[in-house]
Amino acid sequence: MLTKYLYVFFISMVPLVELRGAIPIGTVGLGLPMIPTYITAVVGNMIPVPILYLFARRVLEWGQDKPLIGKPCTFFMTKGKRGGEKLQATAGRGLFMALLLFVGIPLPGTGAWTGTLAASLLDMDFKSSVLACMGGVLLAGVIMGLASSGVLGVAGAVFAR
């Protein structure tokens, strides 16, 4: 049983998959109860956030002029800056809520990893970015939990099979 929760925990730490994949895998695939799966996935998804905020920008800036990793680092810096500027222009003073919704709506490419990188590139303060990502992760977890249990209709039926 502990092994199954460790699967959920580590799956929720993986970029792109995050808790959006960990909750359906835990509840539907592994047959775990919803609440402990939700808590495990939220904790696993949030562990990388402070580390990403503090170091991702530095690593990308450092790697931009390196031979093997220069192009990907430049790509992610450019994409992150453009996405962050677009988010900031749309949100204005409501950047905290925009980041929370960006992380919380479970669409491809909008998770805690991407949101934290955008917050870092926008020079959003540490506390606000972590709290916005936490709120977004909690929201995404509720949405994925409802979808996994079939409450959301068609999406739930797809996950349940």
Q: What's the predicted TM-score (pTM) here?
A: 0.85
Distance (Å, rounded) from C-alpha 111 to C-alpha 68?
Answer: 27
Residue 153 has a pLDDT of 63
- In b/e form, how buried is each residue of 39-54, taking b as 16+ CB within 10 angstroms? ebbbebbbebbeebbe
Mean pLDDT by 10 residues, the chain (161 residues): 95 92 94 96 97 91 92 85 76 85 88 89 91 97 91 54 46
Angle, vertex CA 36, rays to CA 30 and CA 42, nearest 5: 100
**64 CB-near residues (< 8 Å, 6+ apart):** 70, 73, 74, 77
Distance (Å, rounded) from C-alpha 13 to C-alpha 62?
Answer: 24
Distances in Å between the alpha carbon of 2 and those of 21, 40, 88, 125, 147?
19, 11, 42, 36, 24
Burial class (CB in 10 A: 0-12, 13-18, 19+), 90: exposed
